[in-house]
Homo-oligomer: A and B are copies of this chain.
């Protein structure tokens, strides 16, 4: 017998997809951030499903409100990365028989807060009895088929860009899951990135609206895996010349003598957009993001050669394909 843990999440999905007849005319392919069905009038219903399992996905100290809000953020983030406004959220909730009713109400408030924060509504759900707490979320939106920004579409010469810094959540998960310490103020900022993540919905819609992105992905599995996913779908490579960190990530790395680069590349549970821009439209992209209060960070270049390289102090080294993956994580 081969176990899920032995093959890992990605191989498991490949095995499953082999059993599936693709729907004719699917507006987005398997392996993109979202799923979609055509509405027959040039538009598509865009849908995404993402599950939060208390035992494996919710770090200690996180409240039911925060976990529920995060279930919305992770689902809405995928739509935002495609430039699609999330309209509705629904949750299938599983809780044990002896679970506190007040915590369920708190979760409902978390769903509501998350949905309203991004302009969507909770339209319902389903409640079940389970052994562990399960929050299975679904996001729904509608978009013009030709306006959906996919993982494919990046061209050599495009500029690899992102909305945000990386590494905060990787540092926070070291604190929460592995018992690393940090000075109090630093600790608070870091764990906040895990407890109260933010989805780049407004940013994705602004970029898509300005027609700047050639490809896009949400970085929930970490920056490195996001680059591999874009590479696989677009058939290109990347030359990363700058890695956006924050003072907190630098301080944490220094405090524990960790490689800052590892925190930035191989984390996960962060919901930034990683996208590629036609060089002629870089200023438009910068302006579109600026108009919603976000800075465009240039990471490097899209290359015809499919390797994914980091340039550090003039030396090139391969970025590894690792990051957040179920079944194989240490947690």
Using CB atoms and an 8 Å cutoff, list the residues of chain A in contact with chain B. Answer: 1-7, 9, 12-13, 15-23, 26, 30, 35-37, 39, 41, 43, 45, 47, 49-51, 53, 55-57, 87-88, 90-92, 94-102, 104-105, 107-109, 111-112, 116, 121-132, 134, 136, 138, 140, 142, 326-327, 329
Contact = CB atoms under 8 A, between A and B. Distances in A.
Contact of A102 (B1, B53, B116): B1
Given A16-B108, A19-B105, A92 B1 contact: no
Highest count of chain B CB atoms <10 Å: which of A21, A39, A136: A136
B98 A5 contact: yes
User: Copies per complex?
Assistant: 2
A4 B95 contact: yes
A306 B18 CA distance: 52
A20 B138 contact: no
A184 to B, nearest CB: 31
Contact of A45 (B122, B132, B140): B140
A91 B104 CA distance: 23
Given A23-B88, A37-B87, A37-B88, 10 more contacts: A3-B100, A4-B100, A9-B129, A12-B127, A26-B123, A35-B88, A49-B136, A53-B130, A97-B327, A130-B132
Contact of A55 (B55, B116, B131, B136): B131
Nearest to A110: B19
A142 B92 CA distance: 21
